[in-house]
Structure 1
């Protein structure tokens, strides 16, 4: 099975760090759970929702650069799936330097045959261009993401979709925890490898 992964909130639990940063910039009057939920929609959605000023965005970017790879923990059991897959690829809006720093910290670079980041110039999700690129090279069987935004391009290409820790009508499969992965019957027409 060849799997296309989202990064933030799918492979690594990066949202708590981002929530802490946004909370720091916005102040204690804004509920942290609400910030987390807005970030789960998308980073740009959260910035727009809170009407972040250019000065605040500069502060956020400064604080994000101070996050260390150890601040982004991998989700439990995800490494078992990475080992199981024939091929793993990543498509993320995160910058390559940050992705590689985290992967190398955990020794996970070896699991990925290709990583597409915002630095590669593809349009942002839900545009399917990066997925088309990865699918044409690696024949993707399954796309895993934590947001519907991650699944829409795969769905457009007829690739099976799996949402992690969320709900979506676009998803063919739902996982609350990666320990459930091996209990799912992927032998359907959607996932053949």
Structure 2
């Protein structure tokens, strides 16, 4: 099995930290559940939705980059261990992704990372997905947002939605403990 992974919200459980940051920036004007739902679309969507000022946007980005307590989702390492190839396509910058993977002892499972500062167009543009698919003949793309799956469909491989729902997904997965029960 050859898998393309999104990073934030798919490998790492980052949304609780992002939610707390935005909750503080918004001075508790919205519930954490409301904030979480908007962040699940995307961070830029949430910043637009909550009409953050330029100063608040900068604060959100800086505090997001400063997060140090990244936690992989339970059982994600089991899936990584059993996959033949794992690659990442993320909007996060390369230095942060590599640091987090080293700190969580997951770096050894990844053959390649395409990060936000590598020059590829942002999702949903499929260029990075096509590049990775041509190099590794990928079977699946897994992400937590529709934005992660649309380019995979365009590139021609199966999609797995993690902890969310969308029409673009071939499979929907709530946790990694049941990954191999669902995915052939």
Q: Which consecutive residues of structure 2, in runs of 5 or more, have no partner in the other structure?
A: none
Distance 2:146 2:78 in 1: 24
CA-CA distance at 1:74 after TM superposition? 0.5
Q: Which runs of 4+ in 1 moved over 4 A?
A: none
Asked if 1:43 corresponds to 2:47, the answer is no
Q: Offset at 1:57?
A: 1.5
Unaligned ranges ≥5, structure 1 = 187-193
TM-score (norm 2): 0.97
**Change in CA separation of 1:167 and 1:65 when aligned onto 2, cut-off 3 Å:** closer
Could you tell me which residue of structure 2 aligns to residue 106 of structure 1? Answer: 104
d(CA) in 2 for partners of 1:61, 1:142:
30
What does residue 87 of structure 1 align with? 85
Q: 1:80-106 CA deviation, whole Å, 9 max, x = no partner?
A: 010000000000001111111110001
Partner of 2:113: 115
CA distance in 2, matches of 1:86, 1:3: 8
> What does residue 53 of structure 1 align with?
53
Structure 1 match to 2:135: 137
TM-score by length of 1: 0.92
SS at match of 1:143: strand
Aligned length: 184
> What pairs up with 1:176-191 in 2 under 5 angstroms?
176-186=174-184
| Corresponding residue number in structure 2 for 1:166 | 164
